[in-house]
Amino acid sequence: MCGLFLSVGFTPDKRHIDVVAHRGPDGEGWRLFDSPAGPVAFGHRRLSIIDLDPRAAQPMATPDGRYWLVFNGEIYNYIELRSELRNQGVSFRTESDGEVLLEAVRAWGPSALDRLIGMFAFALWDDRDKVLFIARDRVGIKPLVYHASTAGFAAGSEIKQLLDLPGFSRRMDLDRVHDFLSKGLTDHLAGTMFADAKNLGPGRFLRLDLKTWRPGMPLPVTDYWRPPAPDGRILSEEAAAEEFRALFEDSIRLQMRADVKVGSCLSGGLDSSSIVCEQARAWPEGAPPLNAISAVFPGSAVDESRFIDAVIAASGAHSIRTSFDETAFAEDTLAVLRAQDEPYGSTSLHAQYRVFRTARENGIKVMLDGQGADEILGGYHGCFHFHYRRLIQQARLIELLQTLNERKAWHGLSYRQQLRPYFSRLPAPFWMLLRPPGKTPPPPIDWMDTPLLNAHAPREGSVLAQALAAEGLINAKSLGDYCVILTRTTSLPMLLRYEDRNSMAHGIEARVPFLDHRLIEFCLRLGDQHKMVGGDTKRILRRAMTGILPESVRQRRDKLGFATPEETWFKGPLRGMIEAGIEETLMLYPDLFNAGAVRRHTRETLDGDRPFDFSLWQLYIFGVWGRTYGMTL
């Protein structure tokens, strides 16, 4: 994993790759080329993971000097692909996965993308034909942000690389600002919070023939992969669990390939615990124990230590734990923000940031983590909407009552709370329960009820409907449809950006075994009955991990994620910081907010007169971001 930069037309400037030295502390490379569209620059910062030899450095060229590569990520099946290419007469000078990728694209063209198992963002330059080829992995595990104007085209691993380009403005994209402030969403569309920075979407490539293409012309982006729709495969629960386990085990086997120290994130929940236990089963005999790193908060309601203890005992892994108080949380805020480059909707990023910092302090360069399971298997509370609807449609009222009772017992949710998403849209005939969500725009939030923000609310439907239209997806009619949406837009792209920036801020490569595309495709095609039964989410994972996970973890329904005690902190020792920060937000951007409503919302939330949510954090961090980056409306 590394950092990359490329530009066409702009005056080459090595500072654009130097600014992400944290992504690649082990080496750097810089190469310039000529083209009819102007100078082409390739920059690379190297984090050495596979083949530590300097000959594996980038930009990397084919022996004839025609093709050049800059690459961020890992190709996990590089050994198998190298063997296939050798059988076709290709010779290799290194043991790196980067050289395998270079030769694979040279041999097979864009179809090489279909053969890759891994995470990647890369650019390949054909210096003879003057063609630039840029691609991103299927679900966007690795980032690629770009800026395009009549002056030039530039792309990199992080937005900070683009900020000093000629003509790049610090102007906000107010559509994305609205989405963040109202829903906490980012990365659900191609745009970023910066009006002049976009993301190359997951599963897409871009081919620019610089003999004819010029800066300012449209960018010909092509989809090479899309998540499959549910196809109603009929499998017994046992057969489905066996196939899932085989794919999961192979994903972990491949993702343990490295020439450096490998560890794992362990939050104590089902997903990360499954990875740690499977990783420990595949751990080389006689090697030092697997290191599992956790963030804990002893004595708080969000502490997960008892579940972490159970996983450590079952797996034999070595536990490393980090903790921090409200003072350290506040001190980390600017560092986390500078890593992310955009405001972030949850304080949980601070716990994740600390976990990766602890990994670096312990000499670990690769960490496996559990991102993606909730999306491909329906692990979120919102998934119950579709479960209830299926039970009602099929007149399975006993199972419906069982589910309501289980969620009441496990999560403390009353019948009214569970069914409110339906009945709040009534009074109506019973069939109205079956209407898909997101069809009607929600009323504006009072503190956002200003002419400027209202002008940037979705024109038709909801934020979700807008994202679906951009991706060509249908509104969800089933849990399976909803999992496709979570995987392609809304949830997963945002969480993957958080993970990439937090890990790379410390020179750590984060790998996500649940997002092996073979496992994604298998899970998304499965029927809903393999994802949710009664009050059980991620049913197939729980079944597959029988006898491997401790039962106290396998049967958990109360996972918190990388949680922090933010409610206690904000209502107590950090209240002054939050209130002062929100006042700064109002001062910086008075036209965005209804100031009286913001102050009332803040006071009532901190006094406990309204439910606590992330809106206060979003208001706070939005102002910190605006001040730090000099953002304008």
- The pLDDT tens digits of the residues spanning 165-221 come to 999 999 999 999 999 999 999 999 999 999 999 999 999 999 999 999 999 999 999
Which range in 426-435, 469-478, 614-623 is most confidently predicted, on average pLDDT?
Answer: 614-623
Average pLDDT of the residues of the chain = 92
Q: What percent of the chain has pLDDT over 70?
A: 95
User: Mean pLDDT lowest for which of 121-130, 144-153, 532-541?
Assistant: 532-541
**460 pLDDT tier (thresholds 50, 70, 90):** low
Mind listing the pLDDT tens digit for each residue in 257-284?
A: 999 999 999 999 999 999 999 999 999 9
Nearest alpha carbon to residue 509 among 195, 85, 192, 48: 48
CA 557 to CA 3: how far, in whole Å?
Answer: 38
CA 349 to CA 564: how far, in whole Å?
Answer: 9
CA 102 to CA 44: how far, in whole Å?
Answer: 15
Question: Tell me, what's the pLDDT at 562?
Answer: 60
CA 2 to CA 365: how far, in whole Å?
Answer: 12
Tell me how far CA of residue 301 lies from CA of 72, 246, 293, 305, 355, in angstroms. 38, 36, 20, 11, 19
What is the pTM for the complete model shown? 0.93
Tell me the two tokens of residue 97.
């996965």
Q: What is the mean pLDDT of residues 419-435?
A: 44
Q: What is the DSSP letter of 373?
A: H
**439 pLDDT tier (thresholds 50, 70, 90):** very low
The reply to whether domains 2-162+197-223 and 237-376+495-554 share a CATH topology is: no
CA 564 to CA 348: how far, in whole Å?
Answer: 6
Task: Evaluate if residue 431 carries a pLDDT over 70.
Answer: no
Mind listing the pLDDT tens digit for each residue in 358-408?
A: 999 999 999 999 999 999 999 998 888 887 887 787 778 777 888 788 777
Q: Which helix (H) or strand (E) holds 619?
A: helix 615-629
Q: What is the mean pLDDT of residues 60-67?
A: 98
Q: Could you state, in order of their start, the residue ranges of all structural domains in the chain?
A: 2-162+197-223, 237-376+495-554, 568-629
**352 pLDDT tier (thresholds 50, 70, 90):** very high
Say which CATH topology domain 237-376+495-554 has. Rossmann fold (3.40.50)
Beta strands at 198-199 and 27-33: parallel, antiparallel or unpaired: unpaired
Q: Specify the CATH number for 2-162+197-223; select among 3.60.20.10, 3.40.50.720, 3.90.550.10, 3.30.413.10.
A: 3.60.20.10
Nearest alpha carbon to residue 260 among 120, 355, 366, 362: 366
Residue 134 phi, psi (nearest 5): -125, 135
